[in-house]
Amino acid sequence: MYNRLFYFCLLTFAFVLLASPVSAMMSIEEEQEMRDKLLRMVESRVPLIKDPEIVGYVSDVGQKVLDQVNGKFFDYEFFVIQDEGLNAFAMPGGLVFVHTGLLEVIDTENELLCVLAHEIGHVQGRHIARRMERMQRINIATAAIAIAGLFLGQGQVGSAIFATSGALNASIALKYSRTDEEEADRRACQWICKAGYDPRGLLTVLKKMQKYRWLGTSAIPSYLSTHPGASERTTYLEDLWDRERCVQKFPEDPFGLRKIQVKTSVLSHDPVVMIRHYKRELRATPDDIFLLYGLAQSLLAAREYDKAMKAFDNLVSSTPGKPEFKVDQGRAYFTAGKYQKAVSIIGPYSKRHPGDSTARFFLARAYLEQGKPAKALPILKTLKQSWPDPASIYLQLGRCFAALEKQGEAHYYFYRHYKAIGNQQSARYHKNKALKLLPADSKLYKDLKCDKNQENPKP
């Protein structure tokens, strides 16, 4: 039923898009419009990890690449898909996805940066748009289904749709060519070197993918199926490295990566199974901080709150040199409903580490749950532009303004929240309420009037 709904939505999307053949390269605006629709498809088809620390880590690494890119065509967004396959891909418009399976097997931040640089290379090269241009008889509607099929896989229902619509052949034709791969690699190597990292990470990750390609799932095709010429690409990358050597200027942060990998593993598996795993491993190495961290996170995921809080307390007391664990400790108390304790832990940490957005977010949440919206509001406002999950920020801002009895602002942010998650009916309701309550000369009112009201239902 789940797949049927997804593919029905693909067809619906196809009919509402322009049906005329593509006679020239898709414009930036058209690619941006397609991006928004494709994101809805991804969100309906695969589970996304929403944890701000994990998504924020990937986004921060990706930003190191984007800082080196001149003339970016799009506002890039990074996402983490809960899937064991060693995979990463980018869709038109600047949507970049990384699988949890890939996050769990990389050895360094450098390897992740290299993968993201390659995917950004495809987007900046506008490879999908250029391949559409060469396909004289394809239209944007067919291309949209083909792109979704190419990157998200083709189940039994999908195969029938593609076969009858012509999108299956289009999907094959839209696959990256070896020329596309080489261009993306050349762009990536330049950005990686400018960022002060080592482009040989492209080689080490590619070799991992070749070794473990059997980990690909039926839901989403493996990296090697959408990125052709793996063996030739390995040789090409080795030659490219010999010609354009550069050295890594920045030390790795193995602690940060390992912490993210443990949390990713816990969130991607049955927490009860993970609890048994970490307890077993701790019997052999009881002082391993990442095993202790994994056990604490698994207990929290299993909603064994008392045990989780005790485990985090023990972890923090045994690792005084790693204050980052205090954020997780505070989150555990927050999740257990111990808001005052959460504030007492996260508040002092946040003052010493103002750049930790995860700490600030949960500090604001704790203030709000304590009935102190005036303290939460300025924190949430500063996070609004950079938080990896905008819908969650909009929701909390709406709650803050509602608690402060500023109903116009509350409805405005509830509108933004429901629009972000694709709930058209609720979005329209809150937009109309906001327009009635906000002053006509206010910035929020003008923003709503300028909005084209394109909120679409989530597929």
What domains, with CATH codes, occur in the chain?
Answer: 2-243 (no CATH), 270-450 (1.25.40.10)
Mean pLDDT of the chain: 83
d(CA 305, CA 266): 16
Q: Is 114 within 8 Å of 201 (Cβ atoms)?
A: yes
pLDDT at residue 145 in the model:
62
Who wins on pLDDT, 155 or 351?
Answer: 351
Lowest-confidence segment of 7-21, 64-78, 234-248, 390-404 by average pLDDT: 7-21
CA proximity to 133, closest of 295, 23, 208: 23
pLDDT at residue 141 in the model:
55
pLDDT at residue 251 in the model:
82
Q: Which residues pair with 78 in a beta bridge?
A: 96
d(CA 332, CA 320): 18
Reported confidence tier of residue 8, pLDDT bands at 50, 70, 90 = very low
pLDDT at residue 150 in the model:
61
Looking at the predicted structure, is the pLDDT value of residue 376 above 60? yes
Q: Which strand (E) or helix (H) includes residue 77?
A: strand 77-81
One DSSP character per residue, 223-289 reads HHHHS--HHHHHHHHHHHHHHS-----S---HHHHHHHHHHHHHHTS-HHHHHHHHHHHHHH-TT-H
Lowest-confidence segment of 39-53, 323-337, 370-384 by average pLDDT: 39-53
pLDDT in tens, 54-80: 999 999 999 999 999 998 888 899 999
Residue burial 216-250, b: 16+ Cβ < 10 Å; e: rest: beebbbbbbebbebeeebeebbeebbeeeebebee
pLDDT at residue 222 in the model:
60
pLDDT at residue 59 in the model:
95
Looking at the predicted structure, is the pLDDT value of residue 354 above 90? yes
Q: Is 298 within 8 Å of 306 (Cβ atoms)?
A: no
CA proximity to 359, closest of 374, 370, 372, 344: 344
Calculate mean pLDDT across residues 240-250: 76
Report the predicted TM-score, pTM, of the whole model to 2 decimal places: 0.84
Who wins on pLDDT, 136 or 380?
Answer: 380
φ/ψ (deg, to 5) at 416: -60, -40
Looking at the predicted structure, is the pLDDT value of residue 252 above 50? yes
d(CA 351, CA 360): 9
Q: How many CA atoms lie within 13 A of 330 on its CB side?
A: 25
pLDDT in tens, 210-225: 777 655 555 555 666 6
d(CA 258, CA 281): 16
- Supply 303's token pair: 């909603």
φ/ψ (deg, to 5) at 158: -65, -40
pLDDT in tens, 313-351: 999 999 999 999 999 999 999 999 999 999 999 999 999
pLDDT at residue 142 in the model:
60
For 105, 332, 399, 417, the CA distances from 371, given in Å and listed in that order, are 43, 19, 11, 21
Q: Is 119 within 8 Å of 227 (Cβ atoms)?
A: no
pLDDT at residue 44 in the model:
75
Reported confidence tier of residue 165, pLDDT bands at 50, 70, 90 = very low
Report the SS3 class of residue 32: helix
Lowest-confidence segment of 143-157, 177-191, 324-338, 427-441 by average pLDDT: 143-157
